[in-house]
Amino acid sequence: EPEVTQTPSHQVTQMGQEVILRCVPISNHLYFYWYRQILGQKVEFLVSFYNNEISEKSEIFDDQFSVERPDGSNFTLKIRSTKLEDSAMYFCASRETGSSYEQYFGPGTRLTVT
């Protein structure tokens, strides 16, 4: 069964450093998403991406964040200058077109900012 994959599974970085989280969505999906989950809190929407552009973003998704689909398979989330409060689990999700509206989630990348 096709699945969303994410790399790395865990990333440790120092405050102020740039990180890139990578995702490979399911191959025939066209809508892509990033969510995050701070430890002990709920899953929060960050951004959605369709047709090579951001379709919606949350207040969390400020200028420090960017997304990109650099090729036909990868979908990346970049944090330009990480802060301690960026420490969280980041989930990528994708869905196909049509009326299913089911989002399929990857296993997540745990980001730890020290």
| 53 interacts with another protein by CB under 8 A | no
Nearer to another protein, 87 or 103 (CB): 103
Given 14, 28, 41, 52, the residue binding another protein (CB under 8 A): 41
The residues in 6-35 that bind another protein, with binding defined as CB under 8 A, are: 31, 33, 35
Q: How far apart are alpha carbons 36 and 110 in whole angstroms?
A: 9
Spatial distance between the Cα atoms of 21 and 10, rounded to a whole number of angstroms: 10
Beta carbon of residue 106, minimum distance to another protein (angstroms, whole number) = 5
Specify the residue, 9 or 14, whose C-beta has the smaller distance to another protein.
Answer: 9
Q: Which residues contact 26 (CB under 8 A, 6 or more apart)?
A: 2, 3, 4, 94, 96, 104
Instruction: Judge contact between 98 and 108, C-beta under 8 A.
Output: no
The only residue of 87, 95, 111, 113 in contact with another protein, by rule CB under 8 A? 95
Is residue 111 within 8 Å of residue 21, measured between CB atoms?
yes
Footprint of another protein on this chain (CB under 8 A)? 4, 31, 33, 35, 41-45, 48, 50, 55-56, 58, 91, 93, 95, 99, 101-108
